[in-house]
Amino acid sequence: MDREAQFIGQSGAFLDAVERASRAAPMRRPVLVVGERGTGKELIAERLHRLSHRWQEPLVTMNCAALPETLIEAELFGHEAGAFTGATRARTGRFEEADKGTLFLDELGTLSMGAQERLLRAVEYGEVTRIGSSKPIRVDVRIVAATNEDLPAMAARGRFRPDLLDRLSFEVITLPPLRVREGDIAVLADHFGRRMAAELDWHTWPGFAPHVARQLEEHSWPGNVRELRNTAERAVYRWDDPARPIAHIQFDPFDSPWKPSAQAEAPTDRPAERAAPSPLGNFDEVSDLRSAVDGHERAIIEHHLGRNRYNQRQTAKALGLSYDQLRHCLRKHGLLERAEGA
């Protein structure tokens, strides 16, 4: 596997999913991989293929959501010349390309009912028929499908064929989201950070500052590992002091005071009001007000120190403080030594 196709993690939930994939790999039966976006469904599909007896044969991938409905069946099953407008010559489909190997169908839940019906026949009988032909073609294909949809619920609503679901779900591997993979966020962030540092020709890896590591752990990661990789690598790429731990991170790359609004604001005669920052944390968990306020204040100062590359005057200006007031806060929270790079 190349460096993009690595399994990195130590949590029990993650290792259980990988182990299940390893056990299912030698089987000829279909496997359904379920998980949120960015959880590594493609990596599991590759593992299922590489550890199977078909590892020397093709691994053919098709993203069912990337094609219009009118072309999906032609892509899957192929077509004969003249089968439809624009079909000037015959073409093999993905099933034929994957003969003796593995066909990975990503975003399975987006398949039309017509494509599902033809897929069901291919799975059941091992035969496909090109569009415009009446002659079936025998294929030996192991199917691995992936989705982030609740297929049983879709089947109950009539949006997915229950008989196709039955045939594809011999084994179902559900990948855990990153937010429940205890201990894996730090491991993954360090891996992606080191990789970007090497790409930038840094001689050493300074790591992430403690407050950034804490922010990484507390983020909800809706995009899972893919989002974490982008966030960690972007933080390293933007940091211009390899001698210091990375002290600023931006989770939303679109966050900017100049980003365009979704729609033009209606004109108003009232002066613009500055939005107050939303409160952080669960107030029900606060049992010591002073400690909670001090912790929140420290987190804000750490964030702005990192954002301003430890420039104390710029940090003070960003926070609306005088230089002396900021120095007082740094001493109060034990951050003065770090801010001065001692």
pLDDT tens string 176-225: 999 999 999 999 999 999 999 999 999 999 999 999 999 999 999 999 99
Write out the CATH class of domain 182-254+288-339: mainly alpha
> Between 136 and 258, where is the model more confident?
136
φ/ψ (deg, to 5) at 207: 80, -175
pLDDT of residue 225: 96
pLDDT tier at 280 (50, 70, 90 boundaries)?
Answer: low
Residue 111, C-beta contacts closer than 8 angstroms, at least 6 positions apart: 64, 72, 105, 119
The pLDDT value given to residue 221: 96
Cα 334 to Cα 30, 34, 315, distances in angstroms: 57, 46, 16
Task: Quickly state the pLDDT bin for 278 (edges 50, 70, 90).
Answer: very low
Enter the pTM of the model: 0.75
List CB contacts of 74: < 8 A, sequence separation 6 or more: 83, 84, 87, 91, 93, 131
pLDDT in tens, 18-41: 999 999 999 999 999 999 999 999
Round to whole Å and give the CA distance between 324 and 336. 12
Q: What does pLDDT average to over the chain?
A: 86
Is CATH 3.60.40.10 correct for 12-176?
no
Tokens matching residue 39: 């959880």
Q: Where are the domains of the chain?
A: 12-176, 182-254+288-339
Note whether 93 and 130 are within 8 A (CB): yes
pLDDT above 80: residue 268:
no
How would you label 164-197 residue by residue, b for 16+ Cβ within 10 Å and e otherwise? bbebbbebebebbbbbebeebbeebbbbbbebbb
> Vertex 141, ends 136 and 146: CA angle to 5°?
120
